[in-house]
Structure 1
């Protein structure tokens, strides 16, 4: 079986690459998907439709265009991995976790111990909590190979 794994969350560290490389090293049969991780192009996703003088309407328009991708990929995934970093608030990651939960999709949260309390409801809906990308690879390997 080809597993489809959706990687959601912060875009400022190499956690995605570490998971992808770890899965390749273990020869796991996984296809990875993600939202657009280029901050500038993501913010400008709706600009091709019209120019907005208000940041609110620009963000609103771009978020809807980006949601075409994210909602489609989340619906198609078998497992989600939702990363919360400590530097920025990832509201989009929390929204993705809620979408995964609402669709009955199993997901793993990935964050430092310091975020346990603020993410208690998100973690309660997750099937597992990992602190490192390498732990996520271990979890994926177990699920796929057991």
Structure 2
């Protein structure tokens, strides 16, 4: 068995890379996909494809179309969605991606630190698993492959 896991959530630190390295060290048969991690490319992709836009709102809208397409396609091909909510940044993308995972009936692992328990309580109740760290999320994924 092999899994594809969509890594949703903040793009402002290296949590995805660390998780991928840990999964590789554990020799877990997991492919990871997710949003564009190059923030500048993500912000400019609409103009790269559609050409210069008449203003910042139009530029954002064009980029959003491309990023939403990417998210939808990769999430549809995923077996599990792991959505990480961090304490430092606003988490609009995490919430949107978690909601999309639920709408697509994808199993959802919600990663949220304890201080975010209250604001995410309803979403947590809809997730298959809620944990406080990315390490715990990886252990939950590893458990899927446990044969004992």
What range describes the TM-score normalised by the shorter chain of this pair?
over 0.9
Number of residue pairs matched? Answer: 146
| 1:41 maps onto 2:58 in alignment | no
Runs of 4+ in 1 over 4 A off after TM superposition: none
Q: Secondary structure at the match of 1:81?
A: strand
Provide structure 2 residue ranges, at least 5 long, that are not aligned to the other structure: none
Q: Secondary structure at the match of 1:145?
A: coil
Structure 1 residue aligned with 2:56 = 55
Map 1:34-113 → 2, pairs under 5 A: 34-48=34-48, 49-113=50-114
The two structures, once aligned, show a CA RMSD in angstroms of 1.2
| Equivalent pair of 1:18/1:133 in contact (CA under 8 Å) | no
Structure 1 residue aligned with 2:134 = 133
* Superposition TM-score, scaled by structure 1 size: 0.94
* Superposition TM-score, scaled by structure 2 size: 0.92
Provide structure 1 residue ranges, at least 5 long, that are not aligned to the other structure: none
Give how far 1:117 is off: 1.2
Give how far 1:18 is off: 2.1
